[in-house]
């Protein structure tokens, strides 16, 4: 949904709906004390009822003044010392979930203790960021019933001391929101709309922000001998695409990228000849989640004009069964020269990434490589929907990604990918096979396969199979596409590269 985010330094008494944030002391300071005085002490009287004593407590009170009935919401945010810039957006998400759907304008007030190290304007920007993230909806195809889902909210305003400073803090967050929303939109699109060709066109739209975008079509992909990716695409009437993107935000335009992001983009995954069960197969429209994150991330970085040189590659295919589809037992040769025995055509994402990773290294020669993919159900068995699994050949890079996850709330957990797993993907007739030897360590065998193509560049593989789609509402997103990975990697770039 769309509504204006604004900041105001003027105290108003005629707001549509007022939300007052209070810390656990429930003390009325500054402008909130003035509001209470103007509203005949209704706020302090409500506090005396002791219904706001716990963190997260929300109370609605009504004031009749000048023949107008006005609603005021009071919300206990807990210990002010524990509120920080990194978790403030979750307050914003909770705020959006709490306001009535009939609200047209919301004004938020919060008075920080003068001894606090937190700057009100930065906190306000993050709270507003959380409000926006939680407000996302995907009702594009609610053609006849769209009115049932419309929200009346037109504006959310935060009272600050310096409007200019608040806007300065919010500007890069707005660019980040747009990147997250693009990713959520892409994973929500049905596969009959978002074909490999159309997903490539979505990436091309980033050119307007200054991102250099190149799209390889079928003849070029064949010329580069991307046999692993082409093997996956063989069964579909929709041709594959390989898209490269680069953002040069530094003065040194010719320096090699600090990092290249690579995304799996299987726009629909039936499993191919190794076909999936029909129950839940409709979810496989978001098997392009890795590519969606990469495209959304590039939009966010370009939108906030990140001071860094970054590149990206996404491999886009559709995995379908047909008379032309590859079979279990087929052998394909990747563009790296590795031969691969395809044991299971439903382990297709790693085949796409094999050629996408090789292309990324050959084209950009990056200092670091990070790939994202909805790769395995095994990672969901291990970690559930709470964390993504990461696999890495570099302790420092893995640690940086972990720290970024803890900071943003898009949490990851490092999984093993050591030499002891090498034999798991050995093939009797080819250089490797595309699945492990048994049922165990399925997520690791997928990562181990991708590692063969990384040429020992510092690398992290992020398996986002369990976190790309939410089956219930959360603080910062509704049911559906989460956009997991965009905020995580934006923070990684900002904190550890820029």
CB 479 within 8 A of CB 473: yes
Separation of CA 372 from chain center: 11
How confident is the model over 310-328, as pLDDT tens digits?
A: 999 999 999 999 999 999 9
Distance CA 370, CA 108 (A): 39
How confident is the model over 476-498, as pLDDT tens digits?
A: 999 999 999 999 999 999 999 99
Task: Could you please state the CATH topology (level 3) that the domain comprising 176-496 is classified under.
Answer: Aminopeptidase (3.40.630)
Catalytic residues: 276, 350
Confidence bin at 151 (pLDDT 50/70/90) = confident
Strand, coil or helix: 10:
coil
Domains 4-161 and 176-496 share a fold: no
Beta-carbon contacts of residue 183 (< 8 Å; ≥ 6 apart): 292, 293, 295, 296, 297, 481, 483, 485, 486
Count of all residues that appear for the chain in the document? 498
Q: What is the CATH number of domain 4-161?
A: 3.40.220.10
pLDDT higher than 80, residue 1: no
Beta-carbon contacts of residue 389 (< 8 Å; ≥ 6 apart): 379, 382, 383, 412, 413, 414, 415, 443, 462, 463
CB 461 within 8 A of CB 356: no
Domain boundaries, the chain: 4-161, 176-496
H or E segment and range at residue 18: strand 17-23
Separation of CA 22 from chain center: 30
**Which residues partner with 319 through β-bridges?**
269
- Residue 397: per-residue pLDDT: 98
How confident is the model over 156-187, as pLDDT tens digits?
A: 999 999 999 999 999 999 999 999 999 999 99
How confident is the model over 202-231, as pLDDT tens digits?
A: 999 999 999 999 999 999 999 999 999 999
3-class SS string, 157-214: EEECCCHHHHHHHHHHHHHHHHHHHHHHHHHHCCCCCCCHHHHHHHHHHHHHHCCEEE
DSSP 384: T
To the nearest whole number, what is the mean pLDDT of the chain? 94
pLDDT higher than 90, residue 433: yes
Q: Is the dihedral of CA 439, 440, 442, 448 positive or negative?
A: negative
């Amino acid at each position: 949904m769309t509504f204006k985010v604004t900041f105001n330094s003027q105290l108003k008494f005629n707001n549509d709906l007022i939300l007052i944030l209070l810390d656990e002391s429930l003390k009325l300071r500054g402008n909130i004390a003035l509001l209470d005085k103007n509203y005949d002490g209704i706020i302090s009287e409500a506090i005396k009822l002791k219904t706001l004593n716990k963190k997260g407590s929300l109370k609605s009170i009504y004031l009749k003044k000048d023949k107008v009935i006005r609603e005021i919401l009071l919300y206990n945010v807990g210990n002010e010392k524990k509120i920080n810039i990194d978790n403030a957006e979750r307050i914003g998400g909770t705020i959006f979930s709490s306001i009535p759907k009939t609200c047209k304008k919301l004004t938020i007030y919060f008075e920080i203790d003068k001894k606090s190290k937190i700057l009100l304007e930065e906190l306000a920007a993050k709270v507003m960021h959380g409000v926006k993230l939680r407000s996302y909806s995907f009702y594009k195809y609610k053609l006849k019933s769209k009115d049932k889902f419309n929200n009346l909210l037109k504006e959310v305003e935060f009272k600050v001391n310096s409007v200019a400073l608040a806007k300065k803090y919010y500007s890069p967050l707005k660019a980040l929101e747009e990147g997250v929303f693009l990713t959520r939109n892409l994973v929500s699109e049905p596969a009959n709309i978002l074909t490999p060709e159309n997903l490539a066109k979505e990436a091309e739209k980033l050119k307007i922000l200054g991102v250099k975008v190149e799209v390889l079509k079928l003849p070029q992909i064949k010329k580069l001998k991307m046999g692993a990716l082409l093997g996956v695409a063989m069964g579909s009437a929709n041709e594959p695409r390989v898209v490269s993107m680069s953002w040069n935000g530094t003065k040194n335009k010719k320096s090699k990228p600090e990092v290249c992001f690579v995304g799996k983009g299987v726009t629909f995954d039936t499993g191919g000849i190794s076909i999936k069960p029909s129950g839940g197969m409709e979810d496989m429209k978001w098997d392009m989640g890795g590519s969606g994150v990469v495209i959304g991330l590039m939009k966010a970085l370009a939108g906030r004009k990140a001071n860094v040189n970054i590149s990206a590659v996404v491999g886009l295919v559709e995995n379908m069964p047909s008379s032309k589809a590859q079979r279990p037992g087929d052998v394909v040769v990747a563009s790296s020269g590795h031969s691969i025995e395809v044991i299971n055509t439903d382990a297709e994402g790693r085949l796409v990434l094999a050629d996408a990773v090789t292309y990324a290294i050959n084209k950009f020669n990056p200092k670091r490589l990070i790939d994202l993919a909805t790769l395995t159900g095994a990672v969901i068995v291990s970690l559930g929907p709470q964390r993504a699994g990461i696999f890495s050949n570099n302790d420092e890079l893995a640690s940086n990604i972990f720290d970024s996850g803890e900071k943003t709330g898009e949490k990851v957990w490092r999984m093993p990918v050591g030499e002891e797993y090498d034999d798991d993907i050995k093939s009797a007739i080819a250089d490797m096979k595309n699945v492990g030897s048994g049922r165990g360590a399925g997520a690791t065998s997928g990562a181990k396969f991708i590692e063969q193509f990384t040429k020992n560049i510092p690398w992290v593989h992020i398996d986002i199979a369990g976190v790309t789609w939410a089956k219930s509402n959360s603080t910062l997103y509704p049911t559906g596409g989460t956009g997991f990975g965009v905020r995580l990697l934006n923070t990684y770039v900002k904190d550890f590269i820029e």
